[in-house]
């Protein structure tokens, strides 16, 4: 599910030995948190009001979305790390190849 332009994450929970996807409302609150973390505050406070049928878990899921977004923005891209590692190998004269389904490229 996508809310705005933020892709929902796939979290699951276990109940009596069975695994279930989070309900849509939980995904929504996580997405709200992700959007809030990415919002341009221009140095000011950001105040948000949500109308919810119950307060249980809403703040926790919004906070989770903010943490996920912040962590994703701080973490270097895996592609960037892989590219840098391959670049160093190639500069040392080691052969480097990249595989993508179904084609293979060598350089």
Residue range(s) defining the domain that contains residue 34: 2-95
Whether 83 is covered by a domain: the verdict is yes
CA distances from 75 to 6, 30, 40, 68, 70 (A): 18, 19, 20, 11, 9
Q: Picking from 2-11, 12-21, 26-35, 53-62, which range would have the lowest pLDDT averaged per residue?
A: 2-11
Whether 105 is covered by a domain: the verdict is no
Whether 59 is covered by a domain: the verdict is yes
Residue of higher predicted confidence among 75 and 24: 24
What pLDDT is stored for residue 16 in this prediction? 92
- When pLDDT is cut at 50, 70 and 90, the band that residue 83 belongs to is low
When pLDDT is averaged across residues 52-62 and rounded to a whole number, the result is 85
Whether 50 is covered by a domain: the verdict is yes
Whether 41 is covered by a domain: the verdict is yes
Is the entire prediction scored with pTM above 0.85? no
Q: How many domains does the chain have?
A: 1
């Amino acid at each position: 599910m996508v809310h705005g332009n933020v892709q929902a994450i796939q979290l699951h929970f276990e109940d009596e030995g069975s695994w279930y996807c989070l309900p849509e409302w939980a995904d929504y609150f996580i997405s709200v948190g992700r959007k809030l973390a990415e919002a341009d505050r221009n140095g000011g406070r950001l105040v948000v009001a949500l109308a919810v049928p119950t307060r249980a878990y809403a703040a926790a899921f919004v906070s989770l979305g903010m943490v996920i977004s912040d962590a994703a923005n701080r973490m270097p891209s895996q592609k960037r790390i892989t590219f840098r590692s391959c670049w160093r190998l190639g500069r040392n004269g080691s052969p480097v190849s990249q595989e993508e389904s179904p084609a293979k490229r060598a350089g």
